[in-house]
Amino acid sequence: MSTELGSGKSMASASVGEEEHNNNNKLILYSYWRSSCSFRLRIALNVKGLEYEYKAVNLLKGEQSHPEFLQLNPIGFVPVLVDGPAVIFDSFAIIMYLEDKYPQHPLLPTDIHKRAINFQVVTIALFSPKFE
């Protein structure tokens, strides 16, 4: 792995283990700066005011296919969020996780109808053939 993985640590040393679990459950984001999915997650983390450690995964160099990264996310996609023992990938799943675990500065309305409309928009944007 390159030193782009953050603070010079290899991704293998950042796998979920005792060291990370005992690190006050600091959020760790594995990301690539040009990934739109990673970008959306960085926006959510910043809007919610959550501190996190950024670990760069250079997609152009194929770092997402390295065995150390595949231990975190067998699919090999970014972003990946590590929150103590929890490892979550897929930006939408991560955002929903953050919304539930860290309710400060909510990203979604509390009104159930308005919240449902937000989910409809996401579903249409992700799965509608008109947007392909």
Residue 94, classified by CB atoms within 10 Å of its CB into exposed (0-12), middle (13-18) or buried (19+), is buried
Can you give the pLDDT at residue 74? 95
Superfamily (CATH) of domain 3-106: Glutaredoxin (3.40.30.10)
Q: What percent of the chain has pLDDT over 90?
A: 68
The answer, yes or no, to whether the previous bond of 85 is cis (omega within 30 of 0) is: no
Can you give the pLDDT at residue 132? 53
pTM comes to: 0.74
Lowest mean pLDDT of 106-110, 117-121, 125-129, name the range: 125-129
Of 6-15, 28-37, 121-130, the range with the highest mean pLDDT is 28-37
Domain boundaries, the chain: 3-106
Q: Answer yes or no: is pLDDT of 110 > 60.
A: yes
Q: Which of the 8 DSSP states describes residue 80? A: E
Report the relative pairing of strands 80-83 and 86-89 from DSSP bridges: antiparallel
Indicate the average pLDDT of the chain. Answer: 83
d(CA 60, CA 127): 27
Can you give the pLDDT at residue 10? 35
